Amino acid sequence: MDSAVKLVGEYGSRDNFIRLGQYLGKVLSGSERRGQEPDWLRFPRNLGACRTVLRLFDDVPYAGLHTVVRFWETGGLWLVTLARASQYLANQLYYPLEHMAWFARKGILEISPASWELWCLVAWMVSLVAEILSMWHS
């Protein structure tokens, strides 16, 4: 019982558990039939919605993880410093952009979600490219 409490009691573990259930449900659902949603696909879709709502509260803890940014520990390589700074900025922008897209999709804000989703994708891609560059050159 203690391991089950630990599994869902900590945020990171809970998020990984929900994500595992979501992906496992998608695998078990198989291919979609046109016009019908397989029963197993409802489960991972709802887990994904739950995970999205839980992520609405990630801004402050996530910003707290990155309050100490150590750009100077790059060994003087300006490309690595630039890549880490870009990754930090993209990661900090991602959650607010994702929240705006979610609010727009749910009709809470009367704006088009498409542009916000595009900016989310751009922030995510910048973060990935910056991480690859900083790992490649360090």
Q: Are 45 and 81 in contact (CB under 8 A)?
A: no
Condensed to tens digits (0 to 9), the pLDDT of residues 87-137 reads 888 988 888 898 899 889 888 889 999 999 999 999 999 999 998 988 887
Same domain for 106 and 62, yes or no, is yes
Same domain for 63 and 39, yes or no, is no
Domain boundary among 26, 55, 84: 55
Q: What angle do CA 21, 39, 35 make, to 5 degrees?
A: 125
Domain boundary among 10, 34, 55: 55
Q: How many CA atoms lie within 13 A of 136 on its CB side?
A: 8
Domain that holds residue 61: 57-138
Same domain for 50 and 68, yes or no, is no
Same domain for 137 and 74, yes or no, is yes
Same domain for 62 and 118, yes or no, is yes
**pLDDT score recorded for residue 14:** 75
CA distance 44 to 20: 9
pTM exceeds 0.75, yes or no: no
Number of separate domains in the chain? 2
CB within 8 Å of 94: residues ≥ 6 apart: 120, 123, 124, 127
Condensed to tens digits (0 to 9), the pLDDT of residues 53-99 reads 777 777 666 666 655 555 555 566 778 888 888 888 898 888 889 88
**pLDDT score recorded for residue 7:** 60
Q: Are 40 and 25 in contact (CB under 8 A)?
A: yes
Same domain for 31 and 47, yes or no, is yes
**pLDDT score recorded for residue 133:** 87
Q: Which of 44, 45, 47, 66 has its CA nearest to residue 55?
A: 47
Same domain for 78 and 134, yes or no, is yes
* End-to-end CA separation in angstroms for the chain: 43
Looking at per-residue pLDDT, the higher value among 31 and 117 belongs to 117
What is the band of 42 on the pLDDT scale with cuts at 50, 70, 90? confident
Q: Cβ–Cβ contacts within 10 Å for residue 65, how many?
A: 9
Domain boundary among 11, 38, 55: 55
Same domain for 41 and 67, yes or no, is no
Collapsing DSSP to helix, strand or coil, 36 comes out as: strand
**pLDDT score recorded for residue 45:** 76
Same domain for 84 and 97, yes or no, is yes
